[in-house]
Structure 1
């Protein structure tokens, strides 16, 4: 590193490539992703933090907020049910609607209830669960919820209904049921899959023990590739 310390090497890369950045001593990679009007994902920011604590999330989100003009503030934020992150989003972006990732909800439900279903029964249950989530109006939500309840009671699986209602629908339905989330414009974004994809993409470039400088250079490659793809999409569109 030409005699530089790891932090000096990192800051040289960030400075040379005109990054907007802030630093404090924390080691874990997190990604913030946005969406273009042509349905392309792009990385807004990368954060390297050591623990998923509320104060760390608040620090990251405040740094992002400081880079944005008022017209660029997020209107919708989708996360998994990481309460520290949800609370941090509420603090830093109080006017943004906060949604829960439906993919992660399904994974949690399947993991919790897997002993109660064989494969066929699980698929039937998930089809009814998705109808509840996709309900286009509040009356349809109540209808689909009653139908889910009746199906599970007949199948002697009232315990499953109690789990999904008490752990997800009772307190969080406003964050993932379409009848309620569609009250604000969200362009159909209901999962964090785009973020997971970008995170996996970054991790493909990294090895255990990668330096912060290496992480920064990987971010540069990824962002430049994204920019090229987005420009091509806009050029084709126009």
Structure 2
């Protein structure tokens, strides 16, 4: 167990170093969520009535969108390793597939937490005013981290399934698209009935409702438990799929 943890830590450090060298991708990961937040707050916010300042409504959704976009980039790191033959070299050093993938996921989670923190700081500067208690902040942070880990593992599985970075972009589009048909940017009650049903029962909506309620000290009901159940289910499926796909690709 200690060897596996040490290997995963080493692989995470390797992935972080690679990310730091890829300055263009790092800047994009940091700036894109900010640009989207500015677009929604300043371009569309005046036309959308949510019953409160639009920046207050939209920021929890932007945080999830930021995390979704950042998690999807995990697939690119995995597919590059598979494509360049690095996996074979690492396996020759007796480093297991679980450690390699866990390293990518850990690095992705840390990178995305930094990006999310930047978005939150800028949101505070443009008028977002959370009223969460310390317990609310901890709960919101825990749910966000659970989402990051689950979607990063799902992205790792996609990286093993795809064969090229171009194919990865197609697969991960669906991950980054999910926040849009949800309560991230408009109340789902304003959507057509067929879309309302999907938006109410997909994994992103309870995540956003949980963050929004916890950060604004509003009632959350069962949304956090629903969100964690979705994260747990996605994580279990993604880890199992990653193991199967890794063995198939390296057999």
| TM-score normalised by L of structure 2 | 0.28
Larger radius of gyration: 1
Higher normalized strand content (fraction of residues): 1
Higher normalized helix content (fraction of residues): 2
